[in-house]
Amino acid sequence: AQSVTQLGSHVSVSEGALVLLRCNYSSSVPPYLFWYVQYPNQGLQLLLKYTTGATLVKGINGFEAEFKKSETSFHLTKPSAHMSDAAEYFCAVSDLKAAGNKLTFGGGTRVLVKP
Amino acid sequence: EAGVTQSPTHLIKTRGQQATLRCSPISGHTSVYWYQQALGLGLQFLLWYDEGEERNRGNFPPRFSGRQFPNYSSELNVNALELEDSALYLCASIPGRSSYNEQFFGPGTRLTVL
């Protein structure tokens, strides 16, 4: 079974500082990887995804993530945090062995942005 | 283009009752997924419907069930509600079965069981 681990359930950053959210996964086959963001009282919005090809993936709102197979990691970064980045972020892996596109999520990281 | 919609926004039930949650996928999407987001348990896969059939289910008891209608909308039914069923239930849709299709999520239904 696949699993996703997000290091740190809460992260606090200053406005303008680097945002780094860590995600490690376990998978017996090359995975498809996703980062979603959830704002308060809302559903999930896709930030970016990795399927194949370039390992550095750029997403919306200035976020990017790098797939590192050797480290089984897919960390999310943003060079300069904005107040609007305060939200919960979820890393997810698509289970290619199971029927369909079931997503397995990490536990989530809540980001607080300090002015 | 309208996104995934879910109703109701909030639902309050008591133990032992049944709850029905509804989801309308994005127009043209044929697959619907249900997830449970419970406090302390994270996001867990519940059910997957495609072309009117249940294709996969997560590690949940049979009292969690659902169906998909010919217009691809979906219902999630939870029977014999228990306190631990209190959660945000998210619905997502994709255009087809391909694994690299991103899932588009609705805003969720918050179910509270008293």
CB contact under 8 A, A102 and B31: no
Report pLDDT digits (tens) over B38-72: 988 889 999 999 889 998 899 999 999 999 999 99
CB contact under 8 A, A102 and B94: no
Residues B77-80: contacts with CB under 8 Å, at least 24 apart:
B77/B18, B77/B19, B77/B20, B77/B21, B78/B18, B78/B19, B78/B21, B78/B111, B79/B18, B80/B16, B80/B18
For chain A, say whether B99 makes contact (Cβ under 8 Å).
Answer: yes
Tell me the C-alpha distance between A58 and A52, whole Å.
13
Average pLDDT, chain B: 93
Partners of residue A96 in chain B, C-beta under 8 Å: 99
Partners of residue A104 in chain B, C-beta under 8 Å: 45
**Cα dihedral: B38, B33, A50, A75 (round 10):** 0
Give the pLDDT band (50/70/90) at residue A9: very high
pLDDT at residue B36, as a whole number: 97
State yes or no: pLDDT of B75 exceeds 80. yes
Report pLDDT digits (tens) over A26-85: 877 778 899 999 998 888 999 999 988 888 999 999 999 999 989 999 999 999 999 999
Kindly state the average pLDDT of the residues A85-100.
Answer: 82
Tell me the C-alpha distance between B68 and B24, whole Å.
10
For chain A, say whether B25 makes contact (Cβ under 8 Å).
Answer: no
Distance from CA of B35 to the nearest CA of A (A): 9
Size of interface A-B (CB pairs under 8 A): 68
CB contact under 8 A, B100 and A44: no
